[in-house]
Amino acid sequence: MVFDFLKGEFIDVIDWTDDTRDTMVWRFERRGNAIKYGAKLTVREGQAAVFIHEGQLADVFGPGLYMLETNNMPVMTTLQHWDHGFNSPFKAEVYFISTTRFNDLKWGTKNPIMARDPEFGPVRLRAFGSYAMRVSDPAKFMQEIVGTDGEFTADEISFQIRNIIVQEFSRVIASAGIPVLDMAANTADLAKLITTAIAPQVGEYGLTLPEFYIENISLPEEVEKALDKRTSVGIAGDLNKYMQFSAAEAMGKPGSAGDAMTAGMGAAMGMAMAQNMGPWGANTAPSAAAPPPPPPPVGRQWHLADNGATKGPFSEPDLATMAANGSLTRATQVWSAGMDGWKPAAETELSRLFAQVPPPPPPGA
pLDDT tens figures, 106-160: 999 988 888 888 888 888 899 999 999 999 999 999 988 888 788 899 999 999 9
Q: Which residues fall within 8 angstroms of residue 340, CB to CB, at 6 or more apart?
A: none
Rounded to whole angstroms, the Cα distance separating 294 from 221 reads: 51
Rounded to whole angstroms, the Cα distance separating 251 from 130 reads: 50
Rounded to whole angstroms, the Cα distance separating 186 from 109 reads: 18
- Give pLDDT tens digits for 29-54: 876 667 887 889 999 999 999 998 88
Q: pLDDT below 50 — which residues of the chain?
A: 1-9, 256-258, 261, 280-285, 365
**CA distances in angstroms from 325 to 267, 320, 328, 334, listed in the order given:** 60, 9, 8, 17
Q: What is the DSSP-derived secondary structure letter of residue 33?
A: T
Quote the Cα angle for 330-336-338, to 5°: 125
User: What confidence score (pLDDT) does residue 357 get?
Assistant: 66
Rounded to whole angstroms, the Cα distance separating 318 from 300 reads: 11
Rounded to whole angstroms, the Cα distance separating 121 from 115 reads: 8
CATH code given to domain 102-219: 3.30.479.30
Q: Where are the domains of the chain?
A: 5-98, 102-219, 235-284, 302-354
- Give pLDDT tens digits for 331-355: 899 988 888 888 998 888 888 888 7
Tell me the CATH number of domain 302-354, given options 3.40.50, 2.50.20, 3.30.200, 3.30.1490: 3.30.1490
Quote the Cα angle for 102-107-113, to 5°: 160
Rounded to whole angstroms, the Cα distance separating 134 from 206 reads: 9
